[in-house]
Amino acid sequence: MKLTRLFCLLLLIPGAVAHAKEIPKMKPIALHPDNPRYFLLRNRPAVLITSGEHYGAVLNQDFDYIPYLDELQSRGFNLTRTFTGAYMEDAASFGIKNNTLAPLKGRLICPWARSKTPGYAYGGNKFDLNKWDAAYFRRLKDFIRQAGRRGVVVELVLFCPFYDDSQWKISPMNADNNINGVGGVPKDEVYALKHPDLTAAQEALTRKIVRELASFPNLYYEICNEPYFGGVTLEWQRRIASIIAEEEADLPAKHLIAQNIANHRQKIENPDPNVSIFNFHYANPPVTVEENWGLNRPIGFDESGFRGSDNLPYRTEAWEFILAGGSVYSNLDYSFTAAHPAGTSPVDAPGGGGPALRSQLKILKDFIHGFKFLKMAPDREAIQEGVPAGAAAYALSEPGRQYAIYIRGGEQASLTLALPKGHYRAEWLNPRTGVVEKHQEIAHAGGPQILTSPEYVEDIALKIVAGK
C-alpha cells in the first residue's frame, strides 16, 4: 500500500517519472478543417513563420538547443526545421562559416549506432546500420519536447540529397562509413530505389523515427530536402511517404507529411495523396502559390537565405509570400551557431539573419494572426489602381469585412480600393518597425475608395477591418 501511494504521488510530480512513453496532451498539428490551406495548431488557426538555424540542432552535439528555442519563443515564432543526421555537411560546404549542419569531427550524432570498427571519414568509429543510437533518440525527443513547450512546431526533414561528393563521403550510408557493406553506390543513386539494401536501410530508419515520435503533437515530416538535386526519384519519395502512412495507419493521430517540390516555382501535377504540405525554396516572386491554389493545401516557402547579408529581401519576400496566400515562411538565420545558440553571432555566410530580422518577421506573424485569415483569399480585384510605379502589391481579403494589403517599393501609395458600403478602420503599418504610422476611420457610401499612405521607405502594409 505504501509503495502504491508513493508511486501515485510521484505521478503528480513533473519529471518524477522517466519519459518511457510520451503521452499526448493535444492533437498533432493538422490542416484546419475550415480552410485546409492553413493549419490547426493548439486548437487555433495558424500560419507558420520562423527564422531558424541551419538544420543541425539535433545532429550537432555542440549545439545547445535550449537558448535557441528560447529565442524563437521570445519572437513568437512557431516553427523550426531540422535534419535527422542521415545527411550532414563539412566546414567548406556552401561557404557557410560556423555552419550548425557541419559539426566538428567526432561531434556528429545520428540515428545509427557506432560500431567498434574505426574508420569513419569524419572522425570516430564506423556506423552499424542495423543498430540504433539510443542517445540520439533521447536528444531528438528532448528537442521536440522542448520545442513543444515553447509553442514551436518541428519540421523534421528525413533525408537530403548529396550535392557533391564531399557530403556523400561523410555520410553514414556510404559503404566506406558503415560495417554493413551498404551504400557502395554513386551519390546520385542513393535515393533512386536502385539498391535494395540501401533502400531497406532508409525504410527502416523512417519506420524507427515514426514509431519513436508517434506521440508528439508539434511535429510534421518532410520526406526529403531539395529532392530535385542528386538523383532523387519521385518513386522513391512516394515510397517514403507510404512508409510514414503505413506506420501511422493504426494510430489515433496522424502527422502531416510535406514534400519539397522545387526551387522558385512549379505547378504540381498528380500530387501524392499521402502528402499534405507542398514546400518550395526561394519562392520569390510567390507565383507558385497562385499556380497551386487549387490543391486546397498549405503552400510553404520553407527555405530562404542565399540572397546576401542585407535583411531587406528576406523581410519583403516573407510578406509577399504570406500575403499571396502562402502558409509557411522559414528563413535560414546564420546568426545561430554552436558558439552563439541564441542567435547573436556575426553572420559569415551567403545569407543573413540576426535579431533585427527576427524582430521584423515577428511583425509579419503578428500582422497575419491579427486577421481571421481562414476566411480570406488572394484578391486581385481589391486594388483597382494607385500602386506606385515599379512596386508590387499583394492583397488577402474577405470582401466587405477584412483586407490585408502589402506594398513593396515606392515611397507613397494612393490606392483606389473596391470596398462595399460600410464603416471601416484602416491602419498603415511600417513592416520594418511595427509602428502604425496612420489610422483612418472610413464611412464609405460604396464604390471606389481612395486611401493614401504615409510616406515610407522600402515597403508598407495596410490593415482594413469592417466595423466601428
Contact 334, 352 (CB under 8 A): yes
Instruction: Answer whether residue 16 shows pLDDT above 90.
Output: no
Contact 423, 361 (CB under 8 A): no
Instruction: Answer whether residue 269 shows pLDDT above 90.
Output: yes
Q: Is 171 exposed, middle or buried (0-12, 13-18, 19+ CB in 10 A)?
A: buried
Instruction: Answer whether residue 19 shows pLDDT above 80.
Output: no
User: What is the spatial distance between Cα 149 and Cα 69, in angstroms, rounded to a whole number?
Assistant: 10
Domains delineated in the chain: 19-373 (3.20.20.80), 376-466 (2.60.40)
User: What is the spatial distance between Cα 262 and Cα 237, in angstroms, rounded to a whole number?
Assistant: 14
Q: Cβ atoms within 10 A of the Cβ of 322, count? A: 27
pLDDT tens readout for residues 272-293: 999 999 999 999 999 999 999 9
CA distances from 193 to 60, 165, 197 (A): 29, 20, 9
Q: How confident is the model at residue 303 (pLDDT cuts 50, 70, 90)?
A: very high
Strand pairing class (44-46; 35-41): antiparallel
Q: What is residue 151's DSSP assignment?
A: T
pLDDT tens readout for residues 326-336: 999 999 999 99
The set of cell numbers assigned to 277 is: 504540405
Amino acid at 268: I
Expressed in angstroms, the distance from the first to the final Cα of the chain is 64
User: What is the spatial distance between Cα 48 and Cα 360, in angstroms, rounded to a whole number?
Assistant: 15
Contact 174, 182 (CB under 8 A): no
Contact 136, 110 (CB under 8 A): yes
Q: How confident is the model at residue 25 (pLDDT cuts 50, 70, 90)?
A: low
Phi, psi (degrees; rounded to nearest 5) at 201: -65, -40
Instruction: Answer whether residue 4 shows pLDDT above 60.
Output: no
CA distances from 173 to 135, 160, 312, 347, 361 (A): 19, 12, 39, 31, 37
Contact 396, 403 (CB under 8 A): yes
Q: How confident is the model at residue 9 (pLDDT cuts 50, 70, 90)?
A: very low
User: What is the spatial distance between Cα 70 and Cα 76, in angstroms, rounded to a whole number?
Assistant: 10
Q: Which helix (H) or strand (E) holds 168?
A: helix 165-169
Residue % of the chain over a pLDDT of 70: 94
Instruction: Answer whether residue 22 shows pLDDT above 50.
Output: no
Mean pLDDT of 147-168: 97
Mean pLDDT of 427-451: 95
User: What is the spatial distance between Cα 199 and Cα 405, in angstroms, rounded to a whole number?
Assistant: 47
Phi, psi (degrees; rounded to nearest 5) at 181: 70, 20
Q: What is the secondary structure of 209-243 as a DSSP string?
A: HHHHTTT-SSEEEEEESSTTSTT--HHHHHHHHHH
Q: Which residues contact 451 (CB under 8 A, 6 or more apart)?
A: 414, 415, 417, 426, 440, 442, 462, 464
User: What is the spatial distance between Cα 266 and Cα 257, in angstroms, rounded to a whole number?
Assistant: 19
Contact 253, 210 (CB under 8 A): no
